[in-house]
Chains A and B, each alone.
Chain A
C-alpha cells in the first residue's frame, strides 16, 4: 500500500490504530468504573502489578483512567474535526460558487470567527451553554471551521471555471446540485488534508477545556487528569506526566498519519 510506504505514515497509523483499539476495548480491558477507588491513594507507578501506573489522590487506577480517557479524546477530536470540515466546506463552496454578495457576507463572517482566538471562543461558548460532550465538540468546531472554509473556497473558485461545470449548466442541472455534486467532491482533497491538524488541535483544546474544569464532568479526560494531578505536582508529578505523554503521543500519531495521507495523495497526483 502506498499509504504505509513511508516510515512517517507507518508510525502515525500504528499509533492511531493502537489508540483506537484501546479506546474501543476500554470497557473490556477495564470493566470496572474507572472513577471507583481501586487501592491506596497516591501509589506510585510500577509498585503494584495490579495497578501498573499507580493511583491518584483518591486511590483510582491511573491506567484505567488513561484508557477510558482515550475514548473521550479521540471521540472529541474526530467529531470536532468532522463537524468543522463539513461546515467549512459547505460555507466555502457556497461562497466560492455563488460569488458576489453571498461570497462577501460569508467570508466576512469567516474573518470574524478567525480573528477571535479559538480557545477564547470555545471557553466562552462552553461557559455559557454548560459543559457536556456535544457542547465541547461544537465549541471546538466553532473556531476550527474557518480553515476548511477558506481552502474549500479557493479550490471552488478554480474548479467552477472548468468546462465540466459549464457542461453541467448546459444540461440544465440545478446550480446547488452543481455546487455540491460536481464541484465540492473535486475540491475536497486539500480540505481533507487539513483534518490531521484540526484533529490534533481539537484533542489539545479538549484537554485544555477539561484542565480548566469545562470538560464533560461525567467523563474522564486526559486534560481533567492533568488538572487533578496539578494539586500534587511536586509530590506526585507522574499524575500529570502520564496523561501528558498520552496527549503528546496521540497528537503526534494524528499528525504523522495526516502527513502520510498528504504525501500519498501527492504521489498519486504525480503518477496520474
Chain B
C-alpha cells in the first residue's frame, strides 16, 4: 500500500465569471521513504496541489488516501490529529513563521499538540531538533524576525520534523534560498530522509533540484500531469513538450 494515494484530484477557481481549472484530474502515489517531484512552470497548479494534499484548501473532486485513510472524510479533530504525520514546508521562509514567535515556540507547538511530553522533555526535543537541522540550540530563545532566511527555512524543517511525520510536502521549499544555502538544505533533507524514512512530495520548478533530490518525477502543465517516470530518465530524455522546454531552460548542474 502506498503511503499517499491521490486520485482524480480537481480544483477550480472562480476568476470573474468564469471557472478556471487549477488542478484537473491529477493522480499520483508516493511510497514510504520516497521522493516524488512535481515539476511545472508557474501557474501549472503545483502549489495548489501542495495545499490540497495537506488539506489547507478543499478539493472539488478526488480522493486523498494517506496511510489508508481518506483525508476528505475526516472530522476536524481527527484531521488535526492526522496532521502531525503529514507536514508541509512553505516556499517563503520570511512569511511562513509567525514573526513574533521565538524559534523555540515555533518548534514546540507541534510537540505540544502531537506528543504527551512534559515541558522539560519538549525543551530537550527542541534542542535536538535544532541540532538535527544544523542550528545552534541556543537559537531557541531568539525571535523569528531576528534570524536569516536560510535559518528560518531550517527552523521550518525542524518544526515539520517535530511531530515525526511520514510525509513532508516541500512547496518550493528551496526556491527562495540562494544557491549555496539551497545545496546545503537539499543535503540536509536527504540526510533526514535516510535517518527517518520520511517521504517527500517535492514541489519545484527547478530541474536541478529534481536531479539532485527526486526518485520519481511528474511534470504538470495547465493543472494536468503530462509526463511522469523515474527522475533521471525523464530529466535526461523528456517526452512531453513542456518537459523538453523545462530541460532546455534548466541551467546545467553537475549531478548531485
Contacts and interface: CB of A to CB of B under 8 A. Distances in A.
Interface of A: 162-164, 166-174, 182, 185-186, 272
B177 to A, nearest CB: 15
B114 interface: yes
Contacts of B54: 170
Contacts of A162: 95
B114 A164 contact: no
Contacts of A182: 98
Interface stretch (B61-69, B82-90, B222-230): B82-90
Contacts of A174: 80
Nearest to B98: A164
A81 to B, nearest CB: 23
Contacts of B79: 172
B90 A163 contact: yes
A162 B114 CA distance: 23
Contacts of B88: 167, 170
29 contacts: A163-B90, A163-B92, A163-B96, A164-B96, A164-B97, A164-B98, A166-B51, A166-B90, A167-B88, A167-B90, A167-B96, A168-B98, A169-B83, A170-B54, A170-B56, A171-B83, A171-B87, A171-B109, A171-B113, A172-B79, A172-B80, A172-B83, A172-B113, A172-B163, A173-B80, A182-B98, A185-B100, A186-B99, A272-B145
A171 B84 contact: yes
Interface string B121-134: 00000000000000
A185 B101 CA distance: 10
Contacts of A185: 100
Interface residues of B, number: 27
A169 B76 CA distance: 11
B110 interface: yes
A166 B92 CA distance: 13
B81 interface: yes
Given A169-B56, A186-B100, A163 B84 contact: no
Interface of B: 51, 54, 56, 79-84, 87-88, 90, 92, 95-100, 109-110, 113-114, 145, 156, 159, 163
A261 B52 CA distance: 43
Contacts of A170: 54, 56, 83, 87-88
A269 B241 CA distance: 47
A185 B90 CA distance: 22
A171 B159 contact: yes
Nearest to A183: B98
Given A162-B95, A186-B98, A186-B99, 19 more contacts: A163-B92, A163-B95, A163-B96, A164-B96, A164-B97, A166-B56, A167-B96, A167-B156, A167-B159, A168-B98, A170-B54, A170-B88, A171-B87, A171-B109, A171-B113, A171-B114, A172-B84, A173-B109, A185-B100
A167 B88 CA distance: 8
A188 to B, nearest CB: 10
B4 to A, nearest CB: 15
Contacts of B96: 163-164, 167
B102 to A, nearest CB: 13
B95 A168 contact: no
A173 B113 contact: yes
Nearest to A174: B80
Contacts of A173: 80, 109, 113
Given A163-B90, A163-B92, A171 B98 contact: no
A139 B144 CA distance: 41
A90 to B, nearest CB: 19
A167 B171 CA distance: 12
A172 B95 contact: no
A172 B56 contact: no
A111 B80 CA distance: 35
Q: Which 10 A-B pairs have the closest CB atoms?
A: A172-B83, A172-B80, A163-B95, A171-B110, A163-B96, A164-B98, A163-B90, A170-B88, A166-B56, A172-B113
Nearest to B97: A164
A156 to B, nearest CB: 14
Given A162-B95, A163-B95, A186-B100, A168 B83 contact: no
A162 B99 CA distance: 11
